[in-house]
Amino acid sequence: LTEVVTIPVVFHVVYNTSSENISDEQILSQLQILNNDFRRLNADTVNTPSYFQPYAADTRVEFCLAAIDPNGDPTTGITRTQTSKTSFSYIKDEVKSDSEGGVDNWDPTQYLNVWICNISNNILGYATFPGAPANTDGVVIHYNAVGSPPANRYEWSYNLGRTATHEIGHWLGLNHIWGAGSTCNDSDEIEDTPNQLEESVDCPEGIVVSCDNEPYGNMYQNFMDYTNDACMNMFTQGQAAYINAVVNSSRNSVIN
Ligand code: ARG
Ligand code: ZN
Ligand code: CA
């Protein structure tokens, strides 16, 4: 990308209890986090170690609330739907369907759909990759993991809105930084992320070597690892190039 592109987002809040019906302010805090993280304007870029700073990237992708709905009418970019379902299964993907107690997505060639609901089994979020069936296309985030405090209830581990940063990374084609399995033979197919054995959890300290990735070790500061929100602060140049390729091909319609 030579220029910055903007992806219109519709947030579908699907709630049973009033606490699941999170506020507009909470959603706007999430939007700001996405725009900071994808443009490398996040306040914690200083936590990227000096040896990884040269790899850190501005992806040149931004997000805005959708302004026009699929019927051509003005919208806030936030839909709110009360449901009788008390939680939603990741396996069944029910939140994406009117007939299952959720909400059908808006045309995914025109919008990034983000559902916010009570996902069962302690799942923070999940995403489709480019090329998924149109009716499942989008990202789902647990209502407790949206945006930054005060209403985000995931205490310190997942309270900075990085679940959505990570999931939208998948939606734009990025794999987990360690690859598909816990071996050194699989990878994320990104050249400048160090080959890494498996996911990092919590927040490691210092250099953690795996798969002969000396001298700097695992890039557990990357948004596509599994560390805590406060531990992650970067995409790489290679990931940004990959995202740009996706935005120029399979996801191109969403920016036009
Ligand atoms: N487990 C989820 C996934 O694989 C989300 C991980 C989010 N991590 C975070 N620090 N918020 O897509
Ligand atoms: Zn993931
Ligand atoms: Ca890699």
State residue 2's pLDDT score.
73
Which amino acid type is present at position 50?
Answer: S
pLDDT at residue 256 is higher than 90: no
- Select from 139, 148, 166 the residue to mutate for testing ligand 1; criterion: most ligand atoms less than 8 Å from CB: 166
Q: At 231, list the tokens.
A: 């531990």
Number of other CB atoms surrounding residue 231 within 10 Å: 22
Of 150, 121, 146, residue with least CA distance to 229: 146
The residues facing 61 across adjacent strands are 5
Residue 196: CB partners within 8 Å, gap ≥ 6? 177, 178, 179, 210, 211, 213, 218, 219, 225
pLDDT at residue 152 is higher than 90: no
State residue 67's pLDDT score.
98
- Give me the mean pLDDT over the 87-92 stretch: 97
State residue 1's pLDDT score.
67
Cα–Cα distances in angstroms (integers) from residue 157 to residues 29, 152, 161, 231, in the given order: 17, 11, 10, 9
| Mean pLDDT taken over the chain | 97
Q: Does 126 sit in the ligand 1 pocket, CB within 6 Å?
A: yes
pLDDT in tens, 216-238: 999 999 999 999 999 999 999 99
Of 59, 16, 68, residue with least CA distance to 39: 59
Let me know: does 220 contact 227? Beta carbons within 8 Å. yes
Which amino acid type is present at position 210?
Answer: S
pLDDT at residue 86 is higher than 70: yes
Q: Identify residues whose C-beta is under 5 A from ligand 3, the ion.
A: 187-188, 190, 193
Q: Does 178 sit in the ligand 1 pocket, CB within 6 Å?
A: no
Question: Which residue intervals of 106-153 are DSSP H helices?
Answer: none
Cα–ligand 3 centroid distance for 32 (angstroms)? 28
- Give me the mean pLDDT over the 39-57 stretch: 98
